[in-house]
Structure 1
């Protein structure tokens, strides 16, 4: 004979990287998402809601192509066309901006929140389904737009209580442009790119050959923003790439003006995860928290055959954000007799109480209050604390 319920156990089993979010975590996540959306909305960002699934050719256009390998695909039984389940919401919002909102005045400020699903998780983020919250600022190449995105991403996280926050700034196109200007061969580029990605100083010097000092200096020009900028400015960089460094410096200055206390770091050789971005990019971290809290950067929003619109935005990953926040409290729960006055119960809820009304008149109110995890109960119009 078999003990237990094997059918029930099989029904509760979920695929790797997927999980049920239970109380109070589900309510906590929903509340934080709405706080973040309210915060960015105050800066002029209007909320949009793209569909969970859409045709593959539109979903994977432009920046969407970078998440092609992470996208679940299926056949639409109605149109017989391939569809994709979104792995990232940024490409969808960019599509909305350049199609449905093409006639809206620029710069266009949009925000969003929703679930995404990916084919596989990563070492730092094993979750395959999680919630994204983000903004896109479309139709401007302004340096102030870059600074607004960096500031708003950090300010939104600070507004919900994230502590120990830092922003790591990157120029993912810088190394590639240096490769072109210096005329490196494809093999030299691959070897040097791999060495830079590993942060292997010895391998960088060997792969860079006659340009060893330049790329070694670039690798070492990382760390706190002021020190990194000083090292970058001292490097013998070609004139054609100095504009990127100057822009980075101006953006840092603008962000500092908006929040002088924000910790900013720079890593100019980092490009992994920023492959589709066209300029300044950034990652948000919190001290002691596994994984990045969010990412952002500049990209081109595709417009079909026409040249893309300049855009910058960021996405916050709610699984990581919640790890950076205190464990939520379920609040004050009061057990009410079945014949309690409705107006009194409404007044309690209005000031923050969670009310649980008795359904069994014959049950002992003290036992029921404890069993249903109430912190208080109403006895003869008097609120009493429930003792363990």
Structure 2
């Protein structure tokens, strides 16, 4: 491999985003942030790096295996490069904004870096945008964030949107009531995530029938909720189902266009979630558009606030959108008055000024990727 090729090589899962895609991604992120702010979510900007003990506590503990670490040469303390922005926003809420009125609505957008990609998302660096609703405990809070995600994505032009709702605490609530051991519960969760009915039967023993019914309850929201409400569940588990029924009704009232499904036993990827959680998909699009749910925002002195929110993964969101519209670029030959350029930019044109005299301005415009050229004060389209 030549030195030139070696210098252009990037690590697996990392890439240069080139024109026009870099500008398109930035514009989409800003449109999402504007949609969040329109519903009262104030923007925050956490740092890329934090001390490890702050970054990987509370909700951030689940991301320890995905976090790059390095030594801070100034303080000689270990630092982590964020793998997700949610724990950072939770930290801000419980420290810098601990005295702000609740519920506290915050939003964010930025880059994250993870140690490993996945089959569906091989990218290790990607942009996120999302919201966190801190200190809201009712079904109205759960429904608000789901409906906001639906509204913001729909406004971008995402079609075929569906939301898969989950109840990560349900299996734990059942296990506690049924007296199942921690090791047995961990293995049972894995079997349920894999939808391995035979393994569920072996692990659940005398309670296999109940867990099989939970597996079969997954599907469209109406069917799933009807099946769940028929089950003889202990009080804690029945309360989770009742809460889900209320949230689904609120989402439907606010965002009737979205398809809702329910998987009551899915736990994979929701390790730190403490209540209703969800994944966003679009028909025909590889991977998740985003995910979110209820969790505990932890403060430095052990304070806990029930919170909910979501994170959108911009690489997937962009795959769900039409290609960016061609940019109107116009070539201004050398000597074009500055006032002409200002007028065109005010009208929405991208101007490219010639820095040297061109014998054929149209050919120069074509060479530089402009679709138009200014001739004697008149706009002319460049023909192929």
Do they superpose with TM above 0.5? yes
Equivalent position SS for 1:306: coil
Match of 1:386 in 2: 382
Tell me if 1:118 matches 2:114. Answer: yes
2:54 is matched with: 58
Q: 1:381 to 1:235 in 2, by over 3 A?
A: same
Q: What's 1:143 paired with?
A: 139
The equivalent position to 1:332 in structure 2, one of 328, 332, 344, is 328
Taking the TM superposition and a 5 Å limit, the aligned residue runs for 1:60-75 are: 60-75=56-71
1:187 to partner: Cα distance: 4.8
Q: 1:188 to 1:80 in 2, by over 3 A?
A: closer
Alignment of 1:256-335 (within 5 A): 256-335=252-331
For 2:309 and 2:117, locate their aligned partners in 1 and report how far apart those are by CA, in whole Å. 23
1:315 aligned counterpart, secondary structure:
strand
Residue 337 of structure 1 and its aligned partner are, at CA, apart by 1.4
| 1:235 positional shift | 1.3
CA distance in 2, matches of 1:187, 1:348: 68
CA contact under 8 A between 1:169 and 1:280: conserved in structure 2?
yes
| Superposition deviation, residue 364 in structure 1 | 1.6
- Does residue 1:253 correspond to 2:275, yes or no? no
Give the Cα–Cα distance (whole angstroms) in 2 for the partners of residues 134 and 81 of structure 1. Answer: 29
Mapped to 2, the partners of 1:69 and 1:357 lie a distance apart of 49
Q: Whole-Å Cα distance in 2 between the matches of residues 276 and 67 of structure 1?
A: 10
Which whole-Å CA distance do the structure 1 matches of 2:90 and 2:199 have between them? 39
For residues 205-254 of structure 1, give each alpha carbon's deviation from its aligned partner in whole angstroms, at most 9, with x where no partner exists: 23322212211110011111111000101112112211100000000101
Structure-2 residue corresponding to 1:156? 152
**d(CA) in 1 for partners of 2:103, 2:354:** 55
Shift of 1:306: 3.3
Structure 1 residues 75 and 187, CA, compared in 2 at 3 Å: closer, same or farther?
closer
- Indicate the residue corresponding to 1:16 in structure 2: 12
Aligned to 1:173, which of 134, 153, 169?
169
Q: May I ask how many residue pairs the two structures share in their alignment?
A: 384
Q: How do 1:339-358 residues align onto structure 2 when only pairs under 5 Å count?
A: 339-358=335-354
TM-score, normalized by length of structure 1? 0.96
CA distance in 1, matches of 2:203, 2:53: 39
Instruction: Give 2:213's match in structure 1, choosing from 183, 194, 217.
Output: 217
Q: Which moved more, 1:213-222 or 1:200-209?
A: 200-209
C-alpha displacement of 1:263: 0.8
Aligned-residue Cα RMSD (Å) equals: 1.3
Q: Write out per-residue CA displacement over residues 42-62 of structure 1, whole angstroms, 9 at most, x where no aligned residue.
A: 000000001100100001110
Q: Specify every segment of 5 or more residues in structure 1 that has no aligned partner in the other structure, as ranges.
A: none
Give the Cα–Cα distance (whole angstroms) in 1 for the partners of residues 247 and 183 of structure 2: 34
Note if contact 1:24-1:329 (Cα within 8 Å) is conserved in structure 2: no
Name the residue aligned to 1:370: 366
